[in-house]
Amino acid sequence: MTYRDQIDNIMDNFEFGRVAAMMEATDWGWGMPPEVPDEHELRVAARARLREAAERGFSASGGFTARDDGGVLRLYWGLSANIIQGAVGPDSEQETSMGADTEQGDWHEINCVGIER
């Protein structure tokens, strides 16, 4: 699966609404003065992190962390150690997080903030 395909898959399946809800609930904003981003702004930021990770191996900003894990792009967002995670790889066309088809993976919820693999 190409990086572009992986990015599209993550963007289609990552639950940005949960990120927005958590940021709203914790009043965590970006910029000065801090403003809580809407879902569109979160998507723009996440796509930028994924593209940079595809080029450089790693990118992080605004709570999002993206990395290239041996040809598999991964996107994380988190507060503290709790993360929301999405990934695709050559062995799984639908291995993504937060409500995506998880029949091929072993995702499980750890709490209301995120999930882990």
Q: Which pLDDT value is given to residue 79?
A: 64
**For residue 67, how far is the Cα from the chain centroid?**
10
CA distance 3 to 47: 12
Buried b (16+ CB within 10 A) or exposed e, 74-105: bbbbbeeeebbbbbbbeebeebbbbebebeeb
Domain span including residue 94: 3-116
Q: pLDDT at position 114, please?
A: 37
pTM (predicted TM-score): 0.69
Kindly state the helix (H) or strand (E) to which residue 47 belongs, with its residue range: helix 39-56
Backbone angles phi, psi at 35, to 5 degrees: -125, 135
pLDDT confidence of residue 78: 83
pLDDT digits (tens), the chain, 117 positions:
899 999 999 999 999 999 999 899 988 899 999 999 999 999 999 999 999 999 999 999 999 999 999 999 999 998 654 444 555 544 443 333 332 323 333 333 333 333 333
Rg (CA), the chain: 13
pLDDT of residue 83: 46
Number of domains in the chain: 1
Rounded Cα distance, 115 and 59, in Å: 20
